[in-house]
Structure 1
Amino acid sequence: MLTALKKLLTNWIAHFLMMWIAIIVFTVIPYLYHVHIWGNYIYNTDGTPVSGLQYATNLNKDLFVVALFIFLTEAVRQFLFKKYHFIVFIAGCLLTGMISCAGIVYLRPHVFQQQGKLSAIEPILYISAYAFVYVTVRDYYLQNRNRKLHRIQQSENELHALKAQLNPHFLFNALNYLYGTALKEKASDTAQGIDIMSDMMRYTIHGMHENFVPLQDELKFMENYLQLQHVRLPIQDNIKINTQIVSDDHNHQQKIAPLLLLPFIENAFKYGISMDAQCEVQIKIVVAKNELHMEVFNTIIQNRAEVSGNNTGIKNTIKRLDLLYPNSYQLDHKNTSLDYKVSFWLKLNS
């Protein structure tokens, strides 16, 4: 929620600054041009001509209304558009117009008295139409930009994948040989770890070339990763690991971008596990009603690199989320220096 509010505030400020510049360009500059060519035609009560600065200052009340309806427009775009039925989006645009018009009446109580009640409907419609056009046009622009960026990133990912996968068949054959050797030597834990690693590598190689994969494959990959951690870590009283993965996708219809959840869970084990100190890792993934909710918690081991959330893996994941799931995810993280918690929500594709 905090991330969504920061994004709303950032978009509002940028949108308002552009609108303020546009108002200056289309009102103050023509006024100054008119004064320069034909002389001043607006005067103060004391008879002195109104300067350009005074003319711009008189727009302060109007700028308050502009700031209000821009804020409401950005809120409709972020919280209603494509998240609810189209009618809800239309209603949000109309509500933006009505609230903004109420702001006009509050600041200028007599503005509609001479023009009649019917004229009060016009600014509501104009502001509502602006909100509708702005949101739809911006969404169209962002979708086109994201598609281009995604194609570029996909090409880069495939290049990195090719560099990393010098000979996948050789690696799989080597893993199969080690698996068979471990079974002969009755090293069941080693054999299990090799088997899990083989499945994970197969999924990684396949997922690198896909935009979206079945959700169940991603969840199976996460289960393999967690199982591998259980095999790797010794059973000790100071290490507490609780994991839960639940999904209602019984028909295997939902899809997700591959390897999207791994960086958050990987960080929990990287920064939260110690062989000596008390430590705890909690991971909960729940898929219900076409939505994925994930909670990741880990204690922070002292005298180890601080978890800042700005490492490369997390940054790349956020870029992928912005490209593939614009306005369809929420990511919040909290670092208390003693523990670290990630809350993640995602609207899934079908």
Structure 2
Amino acid sequence: MLAAFKKLLINWIAHFLIMWIAITAFTLIPYLYHVHIWGNYIYNTDGTPVTGWQYATNLNSDLFVVAIFIFLTEVVRQFLFKKRHFIVFIAGCLLTGMISCAGIVYLRPNVFKQQGKLSAVEPILYIAVYAFVYTIVRDYYLQNRNKKLQRIQQSENELHALKAQLNPHFLFNALNYLYGTALKEKAPNTAQGIDTMSDMMRYTIHGMQENFVQLGDELKFMENYLKLQQLRLPIKDNIKISSQIDSDDHHNQQKIAPLLLLPFIENAFKYGISIDTPCEVRIKIVVDKNELHMEVFNTIVQNRTEVSGNNTGIKNTIKRLDLLYPDSYRLDHQNTGLAYNVSFRLKLSS
């Protein structure tokens, strides 16, 4: 909720500044032009001519109403458009017009008295139409921008995948050879690890060439990753790892961006596992009612010097979420110094 309010505040300030500059320019420039052509024609009570600065600052009371109007427009766009029924969105636009006109009447009580019967209705409709058109145009612009960014990101992903592939058939053949060798040498854990790694590499190479994959494939990849981590770690009392992944066949057919969940789980093992000290990692992924909910918990190993990094994976994942799932996810995290907890919710697409 705090992130949504922060986004609303930023959009409101930017929108208001643009509107303030536009209103000031469209009123001040004609006044200065007329003064230049005809000379001063508006004077103060003491007889001195009204300067351009005085003329511009005289709009401050009107700008207060503009600020309210812009704020309500941003609220309608962010919280009603495409999140509520279209009729609710229309009602929000009309309410924006009525509240804004109420502000005008409060500041200028006689503004509508000397005009026609529809003079009080017309400004409401004008403001409502502005809120409606602004929201539609802004959404169209953002959708086009996101599509372009998605195409750019997909091209970059394909390029990275091509660089990483080298010769994937050679790599898979080599892994199959190692898998057979491990079985001959009666090393079932090694064989299982090689087989799991082969599946993960295949998913990574082919999955990253797509913007979206089936959720079932993504969850299978996460299961393989957790299986590989448990295979590589020794069985010791001080190491506790628990995982739960719940989904059904219906939800497994839904789409999700590939490798979206991995960075959060990788960090848990990177910073939360120690061979010598007590440590714990808990992973829970549940899919219900077209929403994925993931909880990741890990203890933080103290005084650890061998791990370095700047959370680039997490930062890139948040950029992908903002690009692919704007307003469709929620990410909360808490660091107590002794433990780290991540709560992630994502609305899935069909």
Q: Which one has more relative contact order, counting CA pairs under 8 Å at least 6 apart?
A: 1
Is 2:213 the partner of 1:222?
Answer: no
TM-score by length of 1: 0.90
Instruction: Map 1:43-122 onto structure 2 (within 5 A).
Output: 43-115=43-115, 118-122=118-122
1:294 paired residue number: 294
Contact 1:307–1:340, Cα closer than 8 Å, also in 2: no
Q: Which moved more, 1:240-249 or 1:198-207?
A: 240-249
Describe the superposition over 1:223-251 as per-residue Cα deviations: whole angstroms up to 9, x where unpaired: 11122222222233333333222225526
CA 218–285 in structure 1, closer or farther in 2 if over 3 Å, else same: same
Describe the superposition over 1:96-143 as per-residue Cα deviations: whole angstroms up to 9, x where unpaired: 223323333333344334446642222222222111111111111122
1:29 paired residue number: 29
Paired letter, 1:285 = I
State percent identity of aligned pairs: 85
Instruction: Map 1:239-278 onto structure 2 (within 5 A).
Output: 239-250=239-250, 252-278=252-278
1:171 paired residue number: 171
Task: Give the SS at the match of 1:269.
Answer: helix
Q: Following TM superposition, by how much is the alpha carbon of 1:202 offset from its aligned partner in structure 2, in angstroms?
A: 1.2
CA distance in 1, matches of 2:250, 2:208: 25
2:318 paired residue number: 318
CA 109–299 in structure 1, closer or farther in 2 if over 3 Å, else same: farther
CA distance in 2, matches of 1:136, 1:308: 45
Is 2:337 the partner of 1:337?
Answer: yes
Q: Following TM superposition, by how much is the alpha carbon of 1:48 offset from its aligned partner in structure 2, in angstroms?
A: 3.2
CA distance in 1, matches of 2:282, 2:82: 33
Paired letter, 1:250 = H
CA 97–232 in structure 1, closer or farther in 2 if over 3 Å, else same: farther
Is 2:144 the partner of 1:152?
Answer: no
2:186 paired residue number: 186
CA 70–341 in structure 1, closer or farther in 2 if over 3 Å, else same: farther
Q: Which runs of 5+ in 2 are unaligned?
A: none
CA 142–2 in structure 1, closer or farther in 2 if over 3 Å, else same: same
CA distance in 1, matches of 2:310, 2:220: 27
1:283 paired residue number: 283
Describe the superposition over 1:67-90 as per-residue Cα deviations: whole angstroms up to 9, x where unpaired: 222222222222222233322322
CA distance in 1, matches of 2:307, 2:78: 29
Q: Which moved more, 1:110-119 or 1:48-57?
A: 110-119
Contact 2:239–2:279, Cα closer than 8 Å, also in 1: yes
Contact 2:268–2:296, Cα closer than 8 Å, also in 1: yes
Task: Give the SS at the match of 2:286.
Answer: strand
Q: Which runs of 5+ in 1 are unaligned?
A: none
CA distance in 1, matches of 2:306, 2:19: 41
Paired letter, 1:232 = R
Paired letter, 1:41 = Y
Contact 2:15–2:70, Cα closer than 8 Å, also in 1: yes
Q: Following TM superposition, by how much is the alpha carbon of 1:308 offset from its aligned partner in structure 2, in angstroms?
A: 12
Q: Following TM superposition, by how much is the alpha carbon of 1:165 offset from its aligned partner in structure 2, in angstroms?
A: 0.9
Task: Give the SS at the match of 1:303.
Answer: coil
Task: Give the SS at the match of 2:250.
Answer: coil
